[in-house]
Structure 1
């Protein structure tokens, strides 16, 4: 399986959704899918997760680029090990990081559009879903599925 093709496809999906949000949601601000539960709401985030580091675009671009390159190198080196959970987690994280990086470089902000109004959760996007899903899988791999993870019995 070519994980870099999957990365390209996931980044394309993310960018298409963000384009649609820019085109259709920006003029109307929000569209309720399930009223007071889940809306499509247009947002521009100039920070990182939960809007931390607002306005620090250059810093976020540099850090995201360095981390993404390091993860891509690690992904290439991990292809020989054939641990699918590790490879899928890295693929998802890289895809999400690239999706948001493209926004930062192109627009100077990240387009957000998924809004769980029921729990007043911050608006997010598909790239964020990829990063969180990949990070969750990576944490599981590191804690439970990694054959090199030896736990001492006490």
Structure 2
């Protein structure tokens, strides 16, 4: 895949995704508080939360220095490596660019939160039925999970093969 096309594809994923995540977080901060607002008979809950850890608040109880080292500098390093891979990998497919681009966009947007909100990420979505519920998450988390799913499936798909007759130089009938 050519660099210019890859850069355009990455930009078309990156900017709208970061914009959407940041916009929804801004709306959540202005419209919600820490008490849950339930919709769709309790399936969807909106509740403002500031998460200083990772997914499901993992690492929330670490020292501030360790949290910053892992969740800011460690994540920033991984994001830089992902960006370099996205831009310069010799053999990368369109689904891999989209999948890794979604992961990259979600990671960057959550990293922006950590800079803006003193090491925390804004979360506000919760799904579930009765006591079976997800943790509180945000749009960036959905981007990361969607990107990971696209990446995983892209590695299991076989590349398209040309038609045998065309491949051997015969005209298809």
Scaled to the shorter chain, the TM-score interval is: 0.7 to 0.9
Residue 70 (structure 2) pairs with residue 59 (structure 1): yes
| 2:47 alignment counterpart | 41
Check conservation: 1:37, 1:117, Cα contact below 8 A.
Answer: yes
Within the candidate set 24, 31, 37, 1:17 is matched to: 24
User: Out of 25, 32, 35, which is 1:29 matched to?
Assistant: 35
Tell me which structure has the larger Cα radius of gyration.
2
**TM-score for both structures, normalised by structure 1:** 0.85
RMSD: 1.8
For the Cα contact (< 8 Å) 2:13–2:98, is it kept in 1?
no
Structure 1 residue ranges without an equivalent (≥5): 148-154
**Residue from 149, 156, 167 that aligns with 1:136:** 149
* Mapped partners of 2:11, 2:78: distance in 1: 16
> In the alignment, what sits opposite 1:96?
106
Residue 116 of structure 1 aligns to a residue whose secondary structure is strand
Count of residues paired in the alignment: 144
